Chains A and B, each alone.
Chain A
Amino acid sequence: SAVISQKPSRDICQRGTSLTIQCQVDSQVTMMFWYRQQPGQSLTLIATANQGSEATYESGFVIDKFPISRPNLTFSTLTVSNMSPEDSSIYLCSVEEGSPYIYGYTFGSGTRLTVV
């Protein structure tokens, strides 16, 4: 299965600043996904990133707040902009493994963000 490297693993940031999270996959993948997991909660999909096109955002998430880049088939970044304490969460990237499983997705270990 794919191996995902996510950086940084954790960070503490001042409110009003921005943080860019990197996701590197060891194989080429069509789609990459970004999730948010608030403390003690389940995962919520932020957006889907296709190489060569604009990311598709889920309801409640906007590009100005969470700009995403997808420069090639193995890499993506998520920026959390103008941060507030409410943005304190774990952010995870994910890729679809495909066959033989329909929902065989692999996740990175996540970036634990604390905004103070």
Chain B
Amino acid sequence: LAKTTQPISMDSYEGQEVNITCSHNNIATNDYITWYQQFPSQGPRFIIQGYKTKVTNEVASLFIPADRKSSTLSLPRVSLSDTAVYYCLVGANTGFQKLVFGTGTRLLVSP
């Protein structure tokens, strides 16, 4: 699995857009990029996955440039309830793949 690098922490205020960037310089051709969200006292929750360009769902958007060596998770108009740790994972669909979690980004949203 490709190694990922994320900022350790980020701070924001309610109503702002938050962009969390993940670096994965060694991403392989068949690797996908997946983001998880973990609230305190809960297990991680899958939020979005992409391979290239842009993916959007009801929770977030994921931007992936052409070289795929990085990706950006975008959270529109965050609220206090978006305070969580966000993990970026990279890996391929070649049979069973173990999840390897990096350090994650601890996002704190303030009023």
Contact = CB atoms under 8 A, between A and B. Distances in A.
Interface of A: 4, 31, 33, 42-45, 48, 58, 92, 94, 96-97, 101-110, 112
Nearest to B30: A102
Contact of A45 (B42, B49, B100, B103): B100
By secondary structure, the A interface counts as: strand
A43 B101 contact: yes
Interface string B29-50: 0001010000001111110010
Given A101-B34, A103-B49, A108 B43 contact: yes
A101 B49 contact: yes
Residue of A43, A45, A58 with highest tally of chain B CB at under 10 A: A43
B81 interface: no
Nearest to B42: A109
Interface in B70-102: 87, 89, 91-93, 96-102
Interface of B: 32, 34, 41-46, 49, 87, 89, 91-93, 96-104
Contacts of B87: 42
A104 B104 CA distance: 17
Contact of B46 (A44, A105, A108): A105
A43 B91 CA distance: 16
A43 B92 CA distance: 20
B96 A31 contact: yes
Given A102-B91, A103-B91, A110-B41, A42 B101 contact: yes
A53 B92 CA distance: 25
Nearest to A50: B96
Given A102-B32, A103-B34, A110-B43, A42 B49 contact: no
A31 B98 CA distance: 11
A94 B43 contact: yes
B97 A101 contact: no
